[in-house]
Structure 1
Amino acid sequence: MKVTVGDGMAATTTGSSLAYTPRFDFRDLQLIVAGYADPAGRERELSETFGSMRWLWSQDEYVRFDRDSRELRSLTFFVPPQWIREGPSFRDGPPTRAAGLRADAVGEFAVPGTTVFHCGSGADALSCLADVRLVGREPDARLGVAPAVDLLVYEGAVAGWSLGDPARYLTDGFAAPPSGPPAPATRLRLAECLELVSSPLVDRVMDREPEAWRRLRVVERALREQREDRGRADVLHGVISRLVEDYEG
């Protein structure tokens, strides 16, 4: 299968998806699928790969291919700032197809960040789309390029991504996520936190609207008092408590 990645890079699907465990860094709202474990490792990889990355003032995603084999090497996707109530439709769409990618040629390209995201109340999946016009539409293909990570293809182009059970992969920075499944409470809190740190709700928090602040304090207290799954709860609480400190006045 041929797909377009970013602003014009053509790639062909392969049978070799990435084996790395995803890391969902909630502090910086980024999904890291890579073999490196720190920013220095990311920098070292740049000399061995080609593709898209963030430059000064750009909001591009990291999509890197090995310079020798042209095989997909790593991904870093950023959660966009706009929360939406509805996401892409997967109900009757194609199932996930495990696949890698091989770039058709060596060259730099840009992959602009997605613009809207959806995460249901049970946080069963986090889905990010390049264009709000794709909301509610079924993708033409779902390429499972790593465990729980799908690229969403519309009309031959990668136009979004999805992370299944994002609470399972919660972490801070480049650290490996906790082992074992998340607690049900963590999944609920994650969905609430994603809405709280994104527009339009975060704008109402910054404007100190009473209902927005009531919701913020309820979530902060629930995370502070949660007894199970403390590692993941601490990751979420660190971000939410800082939001309280920054805007409580």
Structure 2
Amino acid sequence: MTTNLSFDGDWRATVTGGPLALTPRFEGDSVRLGDYTDVKERERFVLDTFGSQHWLWDTPDVLRFDPASRKLVGAELQMPYSSAYGETSDRVPVLPAVRPGGLRADEVRGFRHEMCTVLCRAPEDAVLISLRDPEVLDEELEARIGIAPDVALLVQHGTVVGWSLTDPARYLTTAYAAPDPSPPSPATRRLLTECLDLLTEPVVDDLVDGEPAAVARLRAADETLRARHEDRHRADALLQMIATYVEDYTDGPTGQKP
């Protein structure tokens, strides 16, 4: 059983007994594990911790640790489609059973952990799987370390090669807000799948090329989400997820040119 994990830059951490009790926040372009509620609180959190972090326009995966205990206290994991280098795979790896556990850094120093480049979507988007690169799919994963509810790191040959989010619809939310504690409606789950279709290959390529059918799908999704009353908070999160595409590839959210 894997007990010591390697990250980018030859940085290492040991698997401990206790995962984070933080509820994940799926904000469209990232999954956050943190109890900060605005930009200032996040800045204080970063100053008080160490690990991987953003630098200017650089957006690697963020893993933050407490300097005294060296334990993992928060994370921000980037969605592959938010990068120009992201791609979507039709292949879905076999996921090992989740082994709940926290992380303790082997040493107190900063490092950089590259964001994933490949998104694999399980049927009905019950699980989103982000991988470092396509080669990960050529071999079995050896472990899935559950660092928080429904969030796990994926391990291959002792190295962290990706992460997974189970039931992403449940954790949909806008920036810095806690997810709605009630379960998502079936319609919201379907709309999440439609939005993810629009943001990933092959539909996103059709949007860029101005294909009428793809543009019509995007416009319809935007209109449907704006008209929803049930699950309003998650609908707002999905609207934010596709907002840039609506602005770039349709006449805008009002259906009129600005």
**1:73 shift after superposition:** 1.1
Q: Percent identity?
A: 43
What SS does the aligned partner of 1:32 have? strand
Larger helix fraction of residues: 2
- The aligned counterpart of 2:254 is none
CA RMSD of aligned residues (A): 1.8
The question of 1:219 aligning with 2:221 is answered yes
**1:87 shift after superposition:** 2.5
Whether the 8 Å CA contact 2:33–2:74 is kept in 1: the answer is: yes
The question of 1:56 aligning with 2:63 is answered no
Per-residue displacement from partner, 1:7-51 (whole Å, max 9, x unpaired)? 21111110111001001112xx11100121222112112222111
Per-residue displacement from partner, 1:154-201 (whole Å, max 9, x unpaired)? 110111000110010000101001121111121121122122123442
- The aligned counterpart of 1:76 is 76
Per-residue displacement from partner, 1:66-123 (whole Å, max 9, x unpaired)? 1111101110001012222223222xxx310110010111111110000011223512
Whether the 8 Å CA contact 1:70–1:105 is kept in 2: the answer is: yes
Q: 1:38 to 1:96 in 2, by over 3 A?
A: same
The question of 1:191 aligning with 2:196 is answered no
Q: Which runs of 5+ in 1 are unaligned?
A: none
The one-letter code matched in structure 2 to 1:39 is: V
Q: 1:56 to 1:231 in 2, by over 3 A?
A: closer
Match among 234, 237, 245 for residue 239 of structure 2:
237
The question of 1:154 aligning with 2:161 is answered no
What SS does the aligned partner of 2:217 have? helix
Q: 1:223 to 1:136 in 2, by over 3 A?
A: farther
What SS does the aligned partner of 2:200 have? coil
- The aligned counterpart of 1:45 is 45
Match among 6, 9, 14 for residue 11 of structure 2:
9
Provide the rounded CA distance (Å) in 2 between the counterparts of 1:219 and 1:248. 12
- The aligned counterpart of 1:87 is 92
Number of aligned residue pairs: give it: 244
Provide the rounded CA distance (Å) in 2 between the counterparts of 1:125 and 1:178. 19
Provide the rounded CA distance (Å) in 2 between the counterparts of 1:64 and 1:239. 25
**1:227 shift after superposition:** 4.4
- The aligned counterpart of 1:33 is 33
- The aligned counterpart of 2:249 is 247
Whether the 8 Å CA contact 1:84–1:118 is kept in 2: the answer is: yes
Q: Which runs of 5+ in 2 are unaligned?
A: 82-86, 252-258
Provide the rounded CA distance (Å) in 2 between the counterparts of 1:180 and 1:123. 19
Q: 1:239 to 1:162 in 2, by over 3 A?
A: closer
**1:229 shift after superposition:** 1.8
Q: 1:245 to 1:10 in 2, by over 3 A?
A: closer
Whether the 8 Å CA contact 1:121–1:191 is kept in 2: the answer is: no
- The aligned counterpart of 1:134 is 136
